[in-house]
């Protein structure tokens, strides 16, 4: 008869430990409830914040569905990449460098306005904060996201920052660009464009064709962004 030492307490602790670890496959947990619900909760929160910024601040003025698509997918991609790879030793600077290189390569084929690039950087920054702040208290993470929304709301609101639109005009009445005829130039442009022009800047002058490039500043009727204000020729 073989006598073995059996301790029920040790056995029960061992079973509880195995149950806590859960099912594994090739050394990797198949399902971790804590990590899963953390992913769902943070992903939903990050997507909500980014959607609010894009929908109510960016899209309300620009009406650009292509950038709407880009910003949302950038948010999702950056967040999931950083959240799922946070256990891999990787410097944050290296991670941001990858996205910066991608942005320069992809967007060199098209002139991207500074407003779009700013929103793209903000979306990436918010996703990085939410994807890597696992050890940061929830209140601090929520506060950081709300600060993003609050600052953007202030800068986009006409109550705090009055927006003045501008456009480039190729002007043919070159005799009116003289400094002493500024009032006549202003009146002529207001009459021909119907815009509430507040300021005029004179740029390149072509005496061979008797034309000059003018940059006019005006008070726009609506807050929508005109994406072709600075186009001076057909592509």
Q: DSSP assignment of 94-128, as one string?
A: HHHHHHHHHHHHHGGGS---HHHHHHHHHHHHHHH
Q: What's the rounded Cα separation, in Å, for the pair 24 and 122?
A: 38
pLDDT category at 62 given cuts 50, 70, 90 is confident
Helix 114-132 / helix 65-84 crossing angle, nearest 10 deg: 30
End-to-end CA distance of the chain: 94
Q: What's the rounded Cα separation, in Å, for the pair 102 and 96?
A: 10
DSSP state of 43: H
Q: What's the rounded Cα separation, in Å, for the pair 121 and 124?
A: 5
pLDDT of residue 124: 86
pLDDT of residue 234: 47
Over the stretch 140-185, which tens digit does the pLDDT of each residue have?
999 999 999 999 998 888 776 666 788 899 999 999 999 999 999 9
> Which has more confidence, 98 or 235?
98
pLDDT of residue 95: 58
Q: What's the rounded Cα separation, in Å, for the pair 121 and 123?
A: 5
Q: What's the rounded Cα separation, in Å, for the pair 21 and 32?
A: 8
Over the stretch 169-228, which tens digit does the pLDDT of each residue have?
999 999 999 999 999 999 999 999 998 899 999 999 999 999 999 999 988 776 666 666
Over the stretch 105-151, which tens digit does the pLDDT of each residue have?
555 555 677 788 889 889 988 998 898 888 888 899 999 999 999 99
210: left (phi over 0), alpha (psi -120 to 50) or beta: left
Residue 56 · residue 68 · CB < 8 Å: no
């Amino acid at each position: 008869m073989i006598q073995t030492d059996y301790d029920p307490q040790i056995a029960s602790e061992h079973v509880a430990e195995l149950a806590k670890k859960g099912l594994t496959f090739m050394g990797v947990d198949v399902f971790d409830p804590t990590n899963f619900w953390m992913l769902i909760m943070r992903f939903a929160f990050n997507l909500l914040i980014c959607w609010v910024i894009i929908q109510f601040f960016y899209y309300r003025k620009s009406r650009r569905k292509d950038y709407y698509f880009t910003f949302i997918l950038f948010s999702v991609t950056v967040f999931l990449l950083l959240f799922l790879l946070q256990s891999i030793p990787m410097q944050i600077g290296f991670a941001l460098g990858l996205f910066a290189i991608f942005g320069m390569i992809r967007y060199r084929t098209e002139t991207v306005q500074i407003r779009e690039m700013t929103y793209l950087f903000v979306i990436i920054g918010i996703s990085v904060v939410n994807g890597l702040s696992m050890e940061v208290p929830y209140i601090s993470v929520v506060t950081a996201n709300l600060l993003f929304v609050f600052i953007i709301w202030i800068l986009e609101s006409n109550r705090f920052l009055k927006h003045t639109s501008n456009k480039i005009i190729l002007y043919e009445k070159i005799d009116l660009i003289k400094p002493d005829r500024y009032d006549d130039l202003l009146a002529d442009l207001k009459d021909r464009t119907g815009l509430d022009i507040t300021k005029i800047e004179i740029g390149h002058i072509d005496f061979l064709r008797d034309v000059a490039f003018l940059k006019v500043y005006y008070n726009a009727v609506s807050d929508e962004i005109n994406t072709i204000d600075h186009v001076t020729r057909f592509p």
